[in-house]
Amino acid sequence: MAQLAYLRDVATLSLEAGKCIGCALCEIVCPHAVFAMVEGIAVIGDRDACMECGACARNCPTEAIYVKVGVGCAAAVISDALGIKSACCSVDASEPLENGESASSCGCC
Ligand code: SF4
Ligand code: SF4
């Protein structure tokens, strides 16, 4: 089965390669295998697979990674599990409206 992907070209993930010391923590902690190590330096592989959970940036010792946390699918799933209905991808919001349109405010689902 193909790996699930986030929306194309919307992830806020970026990497400042010059700051990378090659510790590989980003590759280890990423649940979607977004990072790979190439010649001792981290590179972003499938950027669209990033769900903006923030684990990579939180664990990077040199702050080489930037990602805006709390805007992606990870935040929506966690918010829904906690009963916070403001998440655009909450279970209730994913139910189609009677006219067939998306109930989510962002229209992603
Ligand atoms: S966690 Fe930071 S320093 Fe370590 S490999 Fe990844 S980008 Fe480089
Ligand atoms: S924010 Fe999460 S999913 Fe995205 S690259 Fe970092 S660890 Fe992986």
pLDDT digits (tens, 9 = 90+) for 41-59: 999 999 999 989 999 999 9
**CATH architecture of the domain covering 14-66:** 2-Layer Sandwich (3.30)
Query: Closest residue (by CA) to atom 8 of ligand 1?
Result: 20
Which protein residues touch ligand 1 with a CB less than 6 Å away? 15, 20-26, 42, 59-62, 64-65
Question: What pLDDT was estimated at residue 13?
Answer: 96
The pairing of strands 41-44 and 65-66 is: unpaired
Is residue 62 within 8 Å of residue 20, measured between CB atoms?
yes
Every domain of the chain and the residues it spans: 14-66
Output the CA 33–ligand 2 centroid distance in Å: 8
3-state secondary structure of 19: helix
Name the pTM for this structure: 0.71
59: exposed, middle or buried (Cβ count in 10 Å: 0-12, 13-18, 19+): middle
